[in-house]
Structure 1
Amino acid sequence: MGLDEKKALDALEEMKKFLEERPDLDIKELNSKETVLVIVDMINGFCKEGNLSSPRIKALIPETERILRLCKENEIKAIAFADSHSEDSPEFSSYPSHCVRGTWESEVVDELKEVAELKIINKNSTNGFLEDEFQDWLKNNPQIKNFIIVGDCTDICVEQFANTLKAYFNMKNIKARVIVPISAVETYDLGYHYAELLNIAALMIMAGNGVEIVKTVK
C-alpha cells in the first residue's frame, strides 16, 4: 500500500472544511423527556493529576460545565462515565496505570458535580456502553432517543461509546440521535498521538457511522 501524501493532505483539508461547516444544535429542538447528556471521563485523573492527565482535557471543563448547566435549565438529565479500574486491569498493558477504583483520580471533577445531580457509572474499559450498569439504565429508559455526548477522549472513549450506541439502535431498528458537539470533546497530545489530527479523524469516523457532529450546543 502506497502513501500518497498529496491525496492525504487534500483529504485532510476536506475533512476540516466539513467539520467547520457543522451546524449548532439548538437544545430547544430536543424533547427533554427523550434526551440525556452523557459526560465521558471528565474526571480528576484525566483533567487534573495523574499519568494520563492532560491540559487539553482540563481546558474542556468550562465548556462541559456550560452544556451541563444548559441541560439542567432545560430539564435534561445527565449521566457521567468515570474510568474506575481494578489494580490489575489488563488495560494497564496498553496505558500507564490510571484512575484506580476508589482513588481521587477516578472521581468526576467537582466543577461538574456542583452543577447538577449526575448518575455516575464507573467503567473498567474504554467503552462505557459495555458496562452492565449502563445496559440496565438503557433498558430502564426506553424513552430516551437523543444522546448528547461530551468529554474525552475524542478518539478513544467518546468514539467507541458513540459508535457502539449508534450501532445498537440501528440493530434494534430504532431511530435515535447520537450527537457529538465539536466544542465539547477533546483528546491528548503525546508522542505520535497528535491531538489535532486524531480529533479530526475520530469526528469523521463517527460522522461516517451516522453520529451527528455539531459545532456546539446552544
Structure 2
Amino acid sequence: MITWLHWVDLVGVAVFAVSGTLMAYKKNMDGFGVVVLASVTAIGGGTLRDMILDLPVFWVQDPSFFYAILAAALITIIWLRTKNTFPLGYLLFADAIGLAFFNVMGLQKALTYGASPLIAIALGTMTGVFGGLIRDVICREIPLVLKGELYATACILGGACYMGAMSLNLSPILCLSTGFAITLIFRLGAMKWHWHLPVFQAHDKVE
C-alpha cells in the first residue's frame, strides 16, 4: 500500500510540474526559471502541509520527487518545442489533475498522522492549492484559487466525499479514488460551465 501511494504521489508531483512548466513557457522563462516554477508548483503545497504537521518535509527525505519534477519538465519542454501556440487548455487540465491528486494525498497523509477529519480536509485543500498559488503569484497572474470558478471548493467537496467513503468502511483505494474523482469532476465542471459560489451581487464600482 505504501509503495502504491508513493507512486501516486510521484505522479501528482509530475503533473503539477507539467503545469508549472507550461506557465513558464507562457511567461518566456529561461531554463532556471522553468525548474524553479515547476518545483514550487509541484512541492509547494506538500511542503506547507508537512511543516504544519511537524513532519520531515517529504522531498527532503526522498530525492525521487525531484527526479519526477525534472523528468516531467524535460518531457514538457521537448513537447512544447514542437508546437507554435500556448496550450492554455492543457495548462488548466494539468492543473486540475494535479489539484485532485494532491488534495486526496494531502488529506490521506494528514489522517495517517492523527489529524481530525475537518483538519485533514483543510490540509488536503492546502496541499492542492498552495503550489499553484505560489506559481501564479510568481508569474503575476491572478491565482486560480482566487478566481470565481470552483477551485478550493472542489477540494473541500472531494475531501468531504473521501470522508464519507471512509465512514462506509470502503477500502483506502476506493476512498482515494472517490475523493480524486469528485475533486476532478467539480473542477473540470467549473472550468467548462463556470460554476462558482456567488457572495456579492453585481454592483457598480465604489468610488
| TM-score, length basis structure 1 | 0.28
Higher helix share: 2
Higher RCO (C-alpha 8 Å, min separation 6): 1
| TM-score, length basis structure 2 | 0.29
Higher strand share: 1
